Amino acid sequence: MTGKTERQYRYYDLLMAAYVCILLCANLIGAQKVTTVHFPVIGAVTFAAGVLFFPLSYFFGDILTEVYGYARDRRCVWAGFAALAFASLMAAVIVAMPPAAHWADKQAALETIFGNTWRIASASVIAFWSGSLVNSYVLAKMKILTRGRWLWTRTIGSTACGEAVDSGLFYTLAFYGIWDNQLLLTVTLTQYVLKTAWEALSTPLTYWVVNFLKRAEHEDYYDTDTNFTPFTLQA
């Protein structure tokens, strides 16, 4: 008796690795810096530098769901969840370890960059997991409703839904009661608009990558019989 053999893909593993790498960059490199950029007409816009990285996770999430289906994107989300949780744990452990005598003057800088509180670290992981799965679910359902047409409607629409959940959860869980409510609302909306706009601007690239992968993998998955529970790794 032979079991069901899972189909092998040429690029799926590479996309998963890139996806996890982007998440770690967004949380470990970009999350701690707030920058102000002056744009023509708009003027000065202040935002967390992680916005340069994090929308890429939705870009990859859209591509994975569109080509390989919800279940395989769900695997990537869980891989990202595990990576973020482990990175947060190890960052906390390393920051808490007593510094050597010649390193003591650098401890404060290390704590500033990697010393997230458990509240912020937990909010980041929960918001990522929730928003990414909402993004994938909405795209998969929209693909069926549109019969595979109008890719741009589901990439932008699913990102708008996923980012709303992600931004709303993260800033509320991490900073409610710490920041003034007006500041909390302003930052949340700014991050949401920037992340969603990034997805809209990347639409031509999304089309190119999706079309390339569909041809290379001979796959264009429709989630007509998919079990959409988030609590499994089964593809």
Strand partners, 34: 48
Residue ranges of the alpha helices (H) in the chain? 12-25, 55-68, 70-96, 107-114, 118-145, 151-175, 181-201, 203-217
- Greater confidence (6 vs 178) lies with 178
Distance, in Å, from the CA atom of 158 to the CA atom of 65, rounded to the nearest integer, reads: 11
Structure tokens at 82: 């595990």
Tell me which architecture the domain covering 12-97+106-211 has in CATH: Orthogonal Bundle (1.10)
What are the structural domain ranges in the chain? 12-97+106-211
Flag the least confident range among 21-30, 91-100, 189-198.
21-30
Q: What is the 3-state secondary structure (H, E, C) of 12-72?
A: HHHHHHHHHHHHHHHHHHHCCCEEEEEECCCEEEEEEHHHHCCHHHHHHHHHHHHHHCHHH
Question: For residue 32, what pLDDT is reported?
Answer: 63
CB 186 within 8 A of CB 30: no
- pLDDT above 60 for 1: no
Closest CA to 142 of 133, 130, 151, 129: 151
Report pLDDT digits (tens) over 62-121: 999 999 999 999 999 999 999 999 998 998 899 999 999 998 999 998 887 787 778 888
Q: What is the pTM of this model?
A: 0.89
Strand partners, 58: none
Distance, in Å, from the CA atom of 154 to the CA atom of 132, rounded to the nearest integer, reads: 14
